[in-house]
Amino acid sequence: MFNKILIANRGEIALRIIRTCKEMGILTVAVYSTADKDSLHVRFADEAVCIGPPSSAESYLSVPKIMAAVEITNADAVHPGYGFLAENADFAEVCKEYNVKFIGPSPDMIRKMGDKITAKETMIKANVPVVPGSGGLLKNAEHGLEVAKEIGYPVMLKATAGGGGKGMRIVWKPEELKENFENAQKEAAASFANDGIYVEKFIEEPRHIEIQIIGDQHGKVIHLSERDCSIQRRHQKLVEECPSPFMTDELRDEMGSAAIRAGEAIKYEGVGTVEFLVDKYRKFYFMEMNTRIQVEHCVTEEVIDHDLIKEQIKVAAGQKIENDSYYPTMHAIECRINAEDIYNDFRPSGGHIKSFHSPKGHGVRVDTHVYAGYTVPPYYDSMIAKLICRAQTREECILKMARALDEFIIEGIKTTVPFHQMLMDDEDFKSGNFNTGFINTFDFGEEKK
Ligand code: MV4
Atom of ligand 1 nearest to the CA of 437: 25
Which residue is catalytic, options 227, 292, 365, 394?
292
Distance CA 221, CA 267 (A): 8
pLDDT at 448: 83
CATH architecture of the domain with residue range 132-201: 2-Layer Sandwich (3.30)
Q: What is the dihedral of CA 164, 165, 167, 173, to 10 degrees?
A: 150
Tell how far the Cα of 349 is from the centroid of ligand 1, in angstroms: 27
In short, whether 235's Cβ falls inside 6 Å of ligand 1 is: yes
Q: What are the tens digits of pLDDT across the range 336-393?
A: 999 999 999 999 999 999 999 999 999 999 999 999 999 999 999 999 999 999 999 9
Element (H, E) at 396: helix 394-407
Ligand 1 in contact with 437 (CB < 6 A)?
A: no
Does the pLDDT at position 166 exceed 90?
no
- List, in order, residues 6 or more apart from 95 with CB less than 8 Å away: 67, 70, 78, 101, 102
Decide if 218 contacts 264 (C-beta within 8 A): no
pLDDT at 232 (0 to 100): 98
pLDDT of residue 409: 98
Residue ranges of the chain that CATH labels 3.40.50.20: 4-103
Angle of helix 107-114 relative to helix 116-125, nearest 10 degrees, comes to 100
Residue 235 zone, left/alpha/beta (φ > 0; ψ -120 to 50; rest):
left
What confidence tens digit (pLDDT) does each residue in 48-87 have?
999 999 999 999 999 999 999 999 999 999 999 999 999 9
Residues 389 and 397: their CA atoms lie apart, in Å, by 6
Q: Give the residues across from 411 on adjacent strands.
A: 355
Q: Is the CB of 436 under 6 A from ligand 1?
A: yes
**pLDDT one-digit tens code per residue, 396-415:** 999 999 999 999 999 999 99
Helices marked H in 238-371: 249-265, 297-304, 308-316
The mean per-residue pLDDT over the stretch 203-218 comes to 98
pTM above 0.75, yes or no: yes
Q: How far is the CA of 194 from the centre of ligand 1 (A)?
A: 20
Distance 305 CA to ligand 1 centre (A): 30
Give the bridge partners for 410, in sequence order.
Answer: 356
| pLDDT at 163 (0 to 100) | 77
Amino acid at 229: C
- pLDDT score recorded for residue 254: 98
Residue range(s) in the chain whose domain bears CATH number 3.30.1490.20: 132-201
158 C-alpha to center of ligand 1: Å?
10
**pLDDT value, residue 134:** 82
Closest CA to 442 of 288, 250, 297, 233: 233
First to last CA, the chain: 53
Confirm whether 390 is a catalytic residue: no
The pLDDT, as a whole number, for residue 48 is 98
> Which of 287, 294, 441 to probe ligand 1 with, by most ligand atoms within 8 A of CB?
287
Q: Which atom of ligand 1 is nearest to the CA of 288?
A: 9
3-state helix, strand, coil in the chain (%, to 5): 35, 25, 40
Look at domain 207-441 and name its CATH class.
Answer: alpha beta
Under CATH, what is the fold of the domain 4-103? Rossmann fold (3.40.50)
Atom number of ligand 1 nearest to Cα 436: 23
